Structure formats: structure tokens, C-alpha cells
Structure 1
Amino acid sequence: MAVDVSELVEQAREGRPRAVARLISLVEGASPQLREVMAALAPRCGNAYVVGLTGSPGVGKSTSTSALVTAFRRAGKRVGILAVDPSSPFSGGALLGDRVRMGEHASDPGVYIRSMATRGHLGGLAWAAPQAIRVLDAAGCDVVLVETVGVGQSEVEIAAQADTSVVLLAPGMGDGIQAAKAGILEIGDVYVVNKADRDGADATVRELNHMLGLGEARSPGDWRPPIVKTVAARSEGIGELMEALEKHHAWMEEHGVLTERRTKRAAREIETIAVTALRERMGELRGRKRLGSLAEKVVGGSLDPYAAADELVAGVTEA
């Protein structure tokens, strides 16, 4: 059933949660009206500060996100939350664990919480996350917090979607080794050692500092990721985390990094949409047996894979 997209967008701008929910549902469901939705949102996007939170399961991502929401609301900011949960093996939907843990904000009209299922998408994010971020941005959110699913070594994709990436670790969980393996030491703009009231917190900070020191050489003026100790369950250290986020945002604006990151993000989004469209066209060619015919020629030795690929691309672009 077709919806009035322009009316939905206006209602979302007024802060009506049902309109925001409907727009994100259109995005998640790859609605035939998706292009119309994106066209209507485009002039209203580009104002929200997108903060990604990632880390291994059990480090307190949801608790930290909730504490950040409280801090941003005290600062008078409208906040959108995308909590990417694992997919239910039964329904394919999100398990809603994060939404349950952030229940204290559910009745706040200045906060919008949306749980999204990964639906098998790797990288800790749902495939529709970039478009959902656009919806929350256009709906007037000053800050969009994106909490990844927490699946360990595939979490690095958040760096492609956020203005600032926050990596959370906890003492006693072997996170230092995991960080080195996962490559998250390359994507973090701010590091948080949560549950800092536990034994080993200072050792984790020292280990992180050491690993960051072994990383790429930084020129004068480059951003040096700070390490913040928090106990999110008691809101301890959240003020220092907010200060680190503000400093990073200001540094990005001063050095032109914010525009550069958002441009790269848009380029990746365009590329993904284009590749998806090409794959659909290739699927149509497969249905017409063209791909199978080319594969038979490669197996038979009358055609090499590169020449076959050139023929397929020509067929896709001419179709």
C-alpha cells in the first residue's frame, strides 16, 4: 500500500515517533517507495552528529549508550538510537535486548529508539543502517547513537558509518588481544575502558596506551585517541567521555575531517546502491542463461574468465 511520503517526512520533522518508525520500516523493507523517501529526506540531512559504539559482547555498550543519552538530553539535544541486535532465528527480527535495557528513555519525546536486525549482515551493522541514520538525521535528531551488535572481530564496519567511533573494552576480558586481532585499534577515535571499578582496569589502560603507541606515526596536529575510564552503570566517567566526544567533533570541524568522512560515507553508500542494482541485472542475465553459457566456455577453454567477465559487464550495461 502506497503512503504519502512527503506527509510522513513532515510528521517526522515534527517529532512524531510513528512517522519516524514508518519511514525506517520502509527503508528496512526495501519498499518500492524507497527512492521517493530518500529524495524527500536529502535536503533535510547533514545536521546530526553520528556516534558509533562498538566492542565485544559484555563490555557494557547498551549501558554506556543509555548513560550518553542522559548526558546529551541534559545538554538539550534530541537523540536517535539505532541499536543493532542479532536476528531472531525464528522471525528474522531483532531480539530487542538493547531496547529493553534502554527502557528508562522510552517515554522521553526527545529520544527515539529503534532496534534493527542484522539479518545475517556481517560487520556488526544492519544493511539498512545508513538509510536509517538519514531518517533520524532528517527527523531533527541532533545526535544519532549507533550501537553495533557486538560480534567481535567484524565490528570495524561502524567506522564507515559514524563521525566518531567509540570502542569499548572492559578489564579481564582479553580485550587487548581481541582489539589487536580485530583491527579496532585502527578505527577508534575514543577508547573507553568500562567497568573501571574492576581489578585490572589500570592495566587495560596501560596495554591500550602501549598498543596505540605501536600504531601509525602521527604528525603534529593529528588526533590522538584518548582513553576514558568509566563505570557506566553508575554514570561515572560519562562527563569525561562527553568531553572527549566534543573535542573530537571540534577537531574534525577544524581540520576538515568531518566533511571528508561524510563524503566518503556518501561515496560508499552510492557504490553499494549501484553494485546492488548491477547484481540484480546480473541475476536477470543468469535467468536468461547468459552467465551459464559464459561459464561453460571458460570451463571448455574457449574463453578466459576476464574476457567472460567483460562480456557479462557489457551485457549488464547494455541491458
Structure 2
Amino acid sequence: MRLVTYRANIEAAARLGAIVDDLVVDVERIGAHAGTALPSSMLDLIDLGPPATMALKKILSDHASHWPVGTALPLANVRLLAPIPRPRKNIFGIGLNYVEHVAESSRALDTAKELPKQPIIFSKPPTSVIGPNEAIEHNRTITQQLDWEVELAVVMGRTARRIPEAQALDFVFGYSVMIDVSARDNRRAGQWIYSKGQDTYAPFGPCIVTSDEISDPHALDLWLTVNGVEKQRSNTRHMLFKVPLLISDISAAITLEPGDIIATGTPDGVGAGRTPQEWLWPGDVVEAEVAGIGRLRHPVVAV
């Protein structure tokens, strides 16, 4: 399933939907028609666990050719928000998780030349999240080096504590797309949260694709363009630390909970690694996509 958080109009409350063809089907309302109580928010659905997602999948299948009145809207007529508009906790970011990105970062950002022996973990606060088509803010008084990074995002579905790699994917709810926006000149003594955690620095969406639809999260093409010019293109098979290891490593010390998000790192092609270096400026448009999941599009605006 492809699950979204949407508004039917600018004044409407955010609601949980499922994309079916060119429609958004309201999860709570279609559940009510089927006599099954289903929630109106993504986090509430995740909290209910596999029985709820299985029930929803069956209901969608049963009604696929005849949506009851009031349960479905044209996708083109709704506004999509971030799938989880306000995560409960900081997003777990993974740094230097593609070999070529390690090399370009060592040249441009004074990071180590050697491949990391363990995942490099930082975080982005919930306030950094924005949804599809929302603006990435460029504050010229704070940064002159605003950069881009396309990433596969992993959304946890169950509480994970000290989980072995072999079981880790069983704890995943689904996958999405994230752009890890970074103010390269805002790193402080090696600490990254101020550089990567500013408001609007975590574009997220457009949907969450449930894990049953992604047979292998390490076989997905991903790419990013700025003003229509391709800057990044790779495949998740090139991750140094694969998703099961990331879940196992984080959960060894930090409990992962339903709805937690892991941004799994970016391939090479970031602005800092280019010659000459390239940065985002007001008026630019960033687009990023992970194959099989969806595309994000964001203008950059001055604040």
C-alpha cells in the first residue's frame, strides 16, 4: 500500500489516506463503511500493528471498483503533507553511508578518508520536517552553503530493542523518501545537528510504501535534480551499512519505536563535493526520487 497524510482543502484537518490509482481513499471512512474501526492518522495506524494494515489492505481490495460516496477524492485535488507530519522523536540520520560519498566528503568537508567501521549517526528534530512542495528555507544570514542529499527513509513499525540483523526487517513498517538538507558552513566542532536540523531541512514523502511492497530495500534507484539538472544518481545496493545493520546497531543502545524514521544516507553528487562547489539559492527547485516510492519537489525560498 501507498499511504499518505492529506488535506482535502486548505482548511481541512490532516487525514490518513491510501493512494489507489489516481485516487486518495480516506482510511477511517472506508473502514467505517466496511464495519472496521481504522484511524485517521499515520502514527495511529502504525501503532495498531500488522492486523490493522492487513485489514486495510483487504478493505481496499474489496472496494477497488466501487468506492462508497465520500471515501475517495482525486489525488490531484488534495494537498499531500509529510506522511508523518510531526514525528514523535528526532529522525535518525546516517552519515557517510556510500563509498563515493565518503571520498567526496573527505576532499571537501575534511571528514576521514577511511571508510567508517560503524554507522555514523546524527539526528534531525521533528521541526525540520516538511511535506511535498513545501519550501526549503534559505537564511542568508546563517548559511552560504546550503546543500542537498537524497536518501531512502525507513519507517519503523514495531518497538525494536537489541534486535539482531537477521530479524531487523520484520520491524519495518515501510519506506519513503527524504532530502537531507545541510548547511555545510554550520557544522560545529564536528557536530552536525545544527547544520542538518534547521527548520525545513527534512523534506519527507510523498508517501510511505508498506514493507510488503518493497521486496528488497537494497535494490532501489535514487536520484536528485536541481533546476532539472541531475546531480545525484545511484542505487541503494551501494550502501555501506544496509538497513538491517542500521536497525540492529541503533537498537543495541537506543530503543526504536513505532513511527521512528531512519534516513539511510546519501550517494555522491552533493554540492560540496563538486568542482567548483555548488549550493542551493532562493529560486532553485530541488526534486528527488526513490524508484518505486515517489518523488519530492521543493522550491528554495529566502527567509
TM interval, short-chain normalised = under 0.3
Structure with larger Rg: 1
| Greater fraction helix | 1
Q: TM-score, normalised by structure 1?
A: 0.25
Using structure 2 for the length normalisation, give the TM-score.
Answer: 0.26
